[in-house]
A and B are shown apart, each in its own frame.
Chain A
Amino acid sequence: MNFVESAERQALREAVAELGRSYGHEYYLEKARGGGHTSELWDEAGRLGYLGVSVPEEYGGGGAGIGDLAAVCEEFCAAGTPMLLMVVSPAICATVLARFGTDEQKKHWLPGFASGQVRMSFAITEPDAGSNSHRITTTARRDNGGWVLNGRKVYISGVDEADAVLVVGRMEDARTGNLKPALFIVPTDTPGFEYREIAMDLVSADKQFGLFFDDVRLPADALVGSEDAAIAQLFAGLNPERIMGASFSLGIARYALGKGVGYAKERSVFGAPIGSHQGLAHPLAQVKIELELAKLMTQKAAALYDAGDDFGAGEAANMAKYAGAEVAIKAVDQAVQVHGGNGLASEYGLGTLIGAVRVGRIAPVSREMVLNFVAQHSLGLPKSY
């Protein structure tokens, strides 16, 4: 067992951190508050191959693993420049296509994922199917050798930035007539496809959208991979999504902890730096411990996934996503507290993180659904729903 990351991964972390810091949290906030996107940073990261680290080499990617992509995501967040689309585009979409796409689909999409030029959103959540994805109703009907898609999705991130959306829908099984899941690639300019921004009380450079598919005609090759592979495809995307979700939270937690510790060392109220009061020092130390634990679990999940153990990675990925989200919430809360009134002043860049880290407890899978998973699968307790 090895608890030290490879020299290359460490070098990658350093390079990404440096690039992220050169943009900085102020750049991020300016974009987020002004309704813009972090396109400059995304594009530069893409050119440097940071976004494509886990895309296979034959398609121009780095040929490395999800552990490396997660490190990139974490470092950008830790530098104060979180890019939510990283959780979706290179992690879920590129992985699903690399593992299950047809040769044509791989040739068409993967080089773009490798360079970051392609951005793809991922849409599974529906108004009546969030935690319960079995209730998805977006459905594709066969038509003249192609497909006609109808349905709705909500809270889909980054659609306005995306070239296409990977849509989880259902289609009729040719033999049984039953509906079964199917994944479709829907370019954002496809006629009949509309998306509307959902007003969110989040200060984020990546927005959420409601999607409307109204008789959207898609060519035959919009279906990802073969007809019967959808369940496997979804599972293939699940672990990377959770590992990336965990890394996203971890990075923000690091950023907040760094801010909190820095301030605790500098600010003094009764003569000594406030960090000398255990009332502030201990919670910060606790955050540090929980952060390291969550990071370790994230690395374990990534290592198992990269070793090809999808099943084994599942438990660790869920636990990592849970622990990452929880510590991020705690880290931001404590960093704000350490800052006193400054914690809520715009200038200090912490207030907006309060909402940002709450996302990790809800998406991509809620805290409760992770606990359900652990109760049921790790502990063998009866299913409650």
Chain B
Amino acid sequence: MPNIVVLVKQVPDTYSERKLNESDHTLDRESADAVLDEINERAVEEALKIKEASEGEVTVLCVGPDRATDAIRKALSMGADKAIHVSDESLHGSDMVATAKVIAAAIGRVEGVDLVIAGNEASDGRGGAVPAMLAELLGMPQLTHARQVTVDGSTVQVDRETEEGLTHLEAGLPAVISVTEKINEPRYPSFKGIMAAKKKPVETLTVADLGVDAGEVGLANAWSTVLEAAPKPPRTAGQRVDDEGDGGTKIAEYLVGQKLI
């Protein structure tokens, strides 16, 4: 009966225009629709599958502003049992180290955790280091970039896939896992799931509740600073080639020129 914590993050919808605030170069949350990160939907799905196979419990853990409750509700409507929401103004602009510390402290509030499941990277920051940092902080083994997870009693096996290749990992529980988009297809929340979600407990905590030193979090205490940011240059018009019977050759020449073939 594994006790699972799934980390979820609310991110700006990748389909909407994403911007940074002009003043402090942090994410402009007002400019885009906020959604539960797609990779986290898969993390939730994986947690639910493991739970359904052996009657565990799934706690959703989210660090984010008040409106991140929507992302939490989505995870609960998919079938997670309860949630912890760390919401605190002072967290604004926190870097990955601070975020990992806060998450680690929040995980400490859940008794007898067997598995922590995260996405391998969030679609907004794309740092991809939080799961590893978290494992260090919690003193648990880390099995990252999983495209397949098998929990067997007190051990977990993972097929880890990166650009370098495929690795088969095994660790004793408790452990931290991060999953890639290949892990599964997340379920749609059923109507009953949506209705049940509103009755599920969500514990809201501040940095002080977690006993984390306020001097370790927030933009002012981040280890790195964004000095300047420029929007992506607009896409330039493509190169037009008329096909005069030699279209194929011209495409090949172009691709060779770009070192693509």
- Which A residues have a C-beta under 8 Å from some C-beta of B? 7-8, 11-12, 14-15, 18-19, 47-50, 52-53, 62, 64, 68
B140 at the interface (CB under 8 A from A): no
Q: B32 on the interface (CB 8 Å rule)?
A: no
- Please give me the residue from chain B that is nearest to A51 by CB atom: B191
- The answer to whether B73 has its CB under 8 Å from any CB of chain A is yes
- Across the interface, which residues of B come within 8 angstroms of A14, CB to CB? 74
B56 at the interface (CB under 8 A from A): no
User: Do A8 and B195 touch (CB < 8 A)?
Assistant: yes
Chain B residue with Cβ nearest A14: B74
Give the residues from 177 to 214 in chain B that come closer than 8 angstroms, CB to CB, to chain A. 188-192, 194-195, 197-198
- Given A7-B73, A11-B73, A11-B77: A62 touches B195 (CB 8 Å cut-off): yes
Q: How many residues on B have C-beta within 8 angstroms of the other chain's C-beta atoms? A: 12
Name the CB-closest residue of A to B74: A11
Q: Is the CB of A12 within 8 A of B191?
A: yes
B188 near A15: Cβ-Cβ < 8 Å: yes
Closest to B192 in A: A49
Q: Which residues of A contact B189 (CB under 8 A)?
A: 11, 15, 48
B73 and A52 contacting across the interface, CB-CB below 8 Å? no
- CB pair A48–B198 under 8 Å, yes or no, is no
Chain B 71-104 near chain A by CB (<8 Å), digits 1 or 0: 0011001000000000000000000000000000
- A119 CB, nearest partner CB in chain B, Å: 18
Give chain A residues whose Cβ lies under 8 Å from the Cβ of B188: 15, 18-19, 48
A-B contact pairs, 20 of them (CB 8 A): A7-B198, A8-B194, A8-B197, A8-B198, A11-B77, A11-B189, A11-B194, A15-B189, A19-B188, A48-B188, A48-B190, A49-B190, A49-B191, A49-B192, A50-B191, A53-B191, A62-B191, A64-B191, A64-B195, A68-B191
Chain B, residue nearest A22 (CB)? B188
Which residues of B approach A to under 8 Å, CB–CB? 73-74, 77, 188-192, 194-195, 197-198
The 8 closest A-B pairs by CB, nearest first: A49-B191, A62-B191, A48-B190, A49-B190, A11-B194, A15-B189, A19-B188, A53-B191
A48 to B, closest residue via Cβ: B190
Residues of A within 8 A of B192 (CB): 49, 62
Q: Which residues of A contact B191 (CB under 8 A)?
A: 12, 48-50, 52-53, 62, 64, 68
* Bound form: Cα–Cα A48–B189 in Å: 7
**Smallest distance from the beta carbon of A246 to chain B beta carbons, Å?**
21
Chain B nearest CB, measured from A267 CB (Å): 14
A352 CA to B73 CA in the complex, in Å?
38
Contacts A7-B198, A48-B191, A49-B192 known; 15 new A-B pairs at CB < 8 A: A7-B73, A8-B195, A11-B194, A14-B74, A15-B77, A15-B188, A18-B188, A47-B190, A48-B189, A48-B190, A52-B191, A53-B191, A64-B191, A64-B195, A68-B191
In the bound assembly, the distance between CA atoms of A153 and B62 in angstroms comes to 57
Complexed CA–CA distance, A307 and B246 (Å): 70
Q: Chain B contacts of A12 at CB under 8 A?
A: 191, 194
Q: Are A11 and B197 in contact (CB under 8 A)?
A: yes
A305–B35 alpha-carbon span in the complex (Å): 32
In the assembled complex, the Cα of A228 lies from the Cα of B194 at a distance in Å of: 39
Chain B contacts of A48 at CB under 8 A?
Answer: 188-191
Q: How far is the CA of A183 from the CA of B252 in the complex (A)?
A: 69
B36 CB to nearest A CB, Å: 10
Q: Which of A12, A47, A48 has the most CB of B within 10 A?
A: A48
Closest residue of B by beta carbon distance from A10: B70
Closest to B41 in A: A18
* Residue among A8, A18, A19 facing the most chain B CB atoms (10 A cut-off): A8
How many Å from the CB of B141 to the closest CB on chain A? 35
Q: Which residues of B contact A11 (CB under 8 A)?
A: 73-74, 77, 189, 194, 197
* Nearest Cβ on chain A to B237's Cβ, whole angstroms: 11
* Nearest-CB residue, chain A, relative to B194: A11
